Amino acid sequence: MASVTQNFMKLFRGSSGSPADAPQIQQKLTRRSSGLGELSRLWDSETPLCVLDLGSTSAANIRFFTERSHKIYSEDLLVASTEPHLVTKDEQGAMVLDSRKFLADNLQYPAAHFDVVLCWNLPDYLDESLVRPVMGRLWSVLKPGGMLLAFFHTKDAGPDSPCYRFHIVEKDTLEMQRIMMRREARRGPTGAIHTAVVDSFRLQRVFNNRHIETLFRDFASIKFFLARDNVREVLVVR
């Protein structure tokens, strides 16, 4: 009963709530990842790697990389995309997210800084207005030859496909936790923008192979791994 009350009260919390308040996480599934397995040969590098993890803050991932003397950067772009000040109107008056503001606040790294970017399922759940600008920025912060791993749903996935956070448990094995709740920016009756806690991130779109190739057209190569759970893993090389 207490948890019902807590969830109810969350609906009335304003933007002062911390990002950590938002994602409520349950369920853990283990999944083999061919893309991660392909990347694993890099982890034994004696030269410390710079790894950018764009999923939810994961102690497991931080431990995985720091135990191997690599440097890990953590930045949760899905949570960052819920900041109310990003909401603006396009020429047709529709609410969109301001990609310039978003990139001014996030992914602020020197060019060619990272050896690996772990994108996870970000492109599928990120707002349409941010997808291409973010991929462009990721290209620029990757070193030439650097690799990016992303997961895409196949056409069989519905809009309610759960959004997960990913924890690396072995070189080719992930533990997935469903993200149950998140913040959402909304315009109130007075026009003021505020945040509300709503159900988890929703699948925004399903990319087909051609869309994915177009999304990563500036990269040197692209490799697809089809998994059994309606997910394609994509490994691209800058």
Partner 1 sequence: MSAPLSADLAQIGKSVVIKGELSGSEDLYVDGQVEGSISLKNNSLTVGPNGQVKASVEAKGLVVQGKLEGNVQASDRVDLRKSAVVTGDISTQRISIEEGAYLKGKVDIQGKADKAAGK
Q: Which listed residue (42, 62, 222, 227) binds partner 1 by CB under 8 A?
A: 62
Under 8 Å between Cβ of 229 and 31 = yes
Least gap, CB of 56 to partner 1 (angstroms): 8
* Rounded Cα gap, residues 119 and 231, in angstroms: 14
* Rounded Cα gap, residues 194 and 185, in angstroms: 6
**Per-residue buried b or exposed e for 55-71, using 16+ beta carbons within 10 Å of the residue's own CB:** bbebeebbebbeebebe
Q: Between 68 and 202, whose beta carbon lies closer to partner 1?
A: 68
Q: With 0-12 CB in 10 A as exposed, 13-18 as middle and 19+ as buried, what is 34?
A: middle
Least gap, CB of 21 to partner 1 (angstroms): 8
Least gap, CB of 136 to partner 1 (angstroms): 20
Which segments of 47-184 does DSSP mark as H helices, in order? 59-66, 77-80, 99-105, 122-125, 128-141
Q: Which listed residue (57, 154, 204, 230) binds partner 1 by CB under 8 A?
A: 57
Choices 16-24, 81-89, 146-154, 201-209; region in contact with partner 1 by CB under 8 A: 16-24
Choices 38-46, 75-83, 87-95, 192-200; region in contact with partner 1 by CB under 8 A: 75-83
Q: Between 169 and 237, whose beta carbon lies closer to partner 1?
A: 169
Least gap, CB of 74 to partner 1 (angstroms): 5
Q: Which listed residue (38, 75, 172, 213) binds partner 1 by CB under 8 A?
A: 75
